[in-house]
C-alpha cells in the first residue's frame, strides 16, 4: 500500500544517469576523426558541429544496440537514485530509440540503478504520467514538462545554458543538490 502511494519522479537517462555525450563524442572521434569538446556543445545537436546525417545514424545505431551497455554513470547518480527510490516511484523516460531497449535494460541492471517504469518516448511531457518532479538535462524538454505542473530539476550542461523561462524549472549542478530538494 505504502509503495503504491509514492509520488512519481521522472528521470531522464542520457547525461542525467549516463555519461552519454562523452561516449558519443569519443565515437565521432574514433570513427570519423571529428574532434568535439564538451564545452563547445552549446547545442545538443552533433550535426551543428560537422557530423553528417549518415555518420549520426551510424553512431546512434552502434550506441543503441551495443555501446550503451558500457556507459559510465554520472557521478552521484546511483547513490542518489537508490535513496530516492525509497520515497518515489521512479519513471525513467528517455528519448532513446526503442532499439536500445535491451541494451538500456542491461545497463540499468548491471549498474544497479533502481526504477519502476521505463519509457522510450521523446514526448516526455505528453505521456499522461503525473510527475511530481522530473530530472532532465535538455532545456526544451524541461520546459515542456514544467508546463504539466511538475517541478523540473535541470542539471547544468553546456547545451542548456540558455536562461530558464518557467518558474517550475530549477537549475541544479549536482545530484547532491537534487537530494537536498527532494528528500
User: Which spans of this chain sit near Mg ion (rule: CB under 5 A)?
Assistant: 12, 14-15, 137
C-alpha cell at 2: 505504502
Closer of 86 and 161 to Mg ion (Cβ): 161
| Residue with smallest beta-carbon separation from Mg ion | 14
What residue spans of 129-174 are helical by DSSP H?
139-146
Cβ 2 to Mg ion shortest distance, Å = 31
CA dihedral 44, 150, 92, 172 (to 10 degrees): 50
Cβ 5 to Mg ion shortest distance, Å = 28
Closer of 88 and 139 to Mg ion (Cβ): 139
Cβ 32 to Mg ion shortest distance, Å = 23
Non-local CB neighbours of 122 within 8 Å, separated by 6+ positions:
95
Cβ 18 to Mg ion shortest distance, Å = 8
Closer of 14 and 89 to Mg ion (Cβ): 14
Q: Closest Cα partner for 183 from 12, 6, 1, 16?
A: 6
Amino acid at each position: 500500500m505504502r509503495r503504491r502511494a509514492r509520488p512519481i519522479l521522472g528521470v531522464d537517462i542520457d547525461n542525467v544517469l549516463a555519461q552519454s555525450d562523452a561516449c558519443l563524442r569519443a565515437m565521432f572521434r574514433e570513427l570519423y576523426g571529428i574532434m568535439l569538446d564538451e564545452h563547445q556543445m552549446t547545442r545538443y545537436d552533433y550535426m551543428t558541429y560537422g557530423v553528417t546525417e549518415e555518420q549520426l545514424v551510424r553512431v546512434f545505431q552502434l550506441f543503441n544496440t551495443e555501446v550503451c551497455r558500457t556507459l559510465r554513470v554520472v557521478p552521484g547518480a546511483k547513490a542518489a537514485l537508490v535513496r530516492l527510490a525509497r520515497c518515489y516511484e521512479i519513471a525513467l523516460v528517455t528519448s532513446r530509440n526503442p532499439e536500445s531497449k535491451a541494451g538500456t535494460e542491461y545497463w540499468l541492471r548491471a549498474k544497479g540503478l533502481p526504477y519502476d517504469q521505463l519509457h522510450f518516448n521523446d514526448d516526455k511531457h505528453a505521456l499522461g504520467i503525473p510527475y511530481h518532479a522530473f530530472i532532465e538535462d535538455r532545456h526544451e524538454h524541461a520546459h515542456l514538462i514544467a508546463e504539466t505542473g511538475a517541478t523540473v530539476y535541470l542539471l547544468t550542461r553546456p547545451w542548456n545554458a540558455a536562461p530558464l523561462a518557467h518558474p517550475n524549472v530549477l537549475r541544479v549542478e549536482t545530484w547532491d543538490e537534487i537530494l537536498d530538494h527532494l528528500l
